[in-house]
Structure 1
Amino acid sequence: MNKFTKSFGAFVFFISFLAMGNLQAQTTMEEFATKWNHGKQFTIDVLNAMPDSGMDYKTDPEAMSFKEQIHHIGSAIVGISQGLLKGGEASAPQIDVATASKEELAAFLEEAYEYGKSAIVGLSEADRAEVINAFGNELTRRQVIAMLDDHCTHHRGAAIAYLRANGVTPPAFVGF
């Protein structure tokens, strides 16, 4: 076998391997809902780990407080689900972060995650594949769902850093 044939064969194998990996990386809506539920519980666990005395803690005067980080997760789920993922207006949860207790904030997170999950799993495959204008970009709703999940993780990670800055050991990650 000549060098070209070997190289071409290796290239085809590599591309096939990548394609198989991409196909296997996709999740079903049932798998996504399970992951989403774990994210919801992890976020609530992070909230519950912060003592009441740390709820207004900020890493910097310009930063969101711990309470605002947590609220931002829930309000983004609701807003993005309503505006981009065909969520209904009537059932969308709301809360005033300025006056909310930790218990009320936990209940809001529970409702926000459930609202988001309902909107996401309620989308048809055609809806998920539809290209829409989101944040000035042309994206599929599937990409918006992935971005929303990443957004929740980002702000939960910031909240975990706030826990550590307050001497609190964060809850263990549960991904499955």
Structure 2
Amino acid sequence: MKHILILTTIMLFSSFTSPLFAQQDNFIKDYLERLENSHKYLILVAEQMPEDKYDFSASPESMTFAKNLMHIGFAIDWHSQSLLGGRESRDWNTDTTYKVANKSKEEMIATINKTFDETIKLIEQFDTTQLDDELDYFGLNRTKRQIFLLLADHITHHRGQMLVYMRINGLVPPRYVLFQ
């Protein structure tokens, strides 16, 4: 009788927890698909903009096309490696990895590709039991699940500015890619 009670308890518990773990696993799977599509689309945008237009900005106080691109890279690194992965944050003021400085278009694209690759690798190995862990995000408590979503929004926000810069310069941006 004792074994039946234990077996029944295990079966009942697993019937409730399995769907929860499956949802978390699906979140990561879905997120990776979205991130990989976002990566491909951003690279198309970066490749299509002529290098001599990388210094273009819509106004003096706006970031240039190149700065938007590198800012996306910095934010991907910070959200993924530091907030989600626990690595110490880079210092924007002293780090040179994501500064435009004298980087060529090719070097910037290579940096973005490397950053996406490292981020995808980290997310593939992400412990989904941490999705509900909270951390400080500019004075607000946010779960790691929310950090994933904030990162996707941030990429879209700055890529949108880059698309406008292309239009202002008479270029037709690459066709929109769904699910990113």
TM-score category (smaller protein):
0.7 to 0.9
* 1:23-76 deviation digits (Å, cap 9, x = unpaired): x9x943222212111100100111111111211001000110000001110111
Alignment of 1:17-56 (within 5 A): 27-56=26-55
- Distance across 2 between alignment mates of 1:127 and 1:158: 32
Pairs aligned (count): 149
Of structures 1 and 2, the one with the larger relative CO (CA 8 A, separation 6+) is 2
Partner of 1:138: helix, strand, or coil?
strand
Q: 1:159 — aligned with what?
A: 162
Structure 1 window deviating more from structure 2 (99-108 vs 119-128): it is: 119-128
Q: 1:148 — aligned with what?
A: 151
For 2:100, the aligned partner's letter is V
Q: 2:59 — aligned with what?
A: 60
Structure 2: stretches of 5+ with no match in the other structure: 1-22, 89-95
Q: 2:177 — aligned with what?
A: 174
Question: TM-score scaled to structure 1, two decimals?
Answer: 0.78
Partner of 1:28: helix, strand, or coil?
helix
Structure 1: stretches of 5+ with no match in the other structure: 1-23
RMSD between aligned residues: 2.0
Asked if the contact 1:58/1:65 (under 8 Å) is kept, the reply is yes
- Would you say 1:111 and 2:114 are equivalent positions? yes
Q: Mark the CA change 1:49 to 1:71 in structure 2 (over 3 Å): closer, same or farther.
A: same
- Would you say 1:101 and 2:104 are equivalent positions? yes
Structure 1 window deviating more from structure 2 (119-128 vs 104-113): it is: 119-128
2:139 to 136, 141, 148: 136
Structure 1 window deviating more from structure 2 (95-104 vs 64-73): it is: 95-104
- Distance across 1 between alignment mates of 2:175 and 2:31: 20
Q: Identity, % of aligned pairs?
A: 34
- Distance across 2 between alignment mates of 1:149 and 1:100: 25
Question: TM-score scaled to structure 2, two decimals?
Answer: 0.76
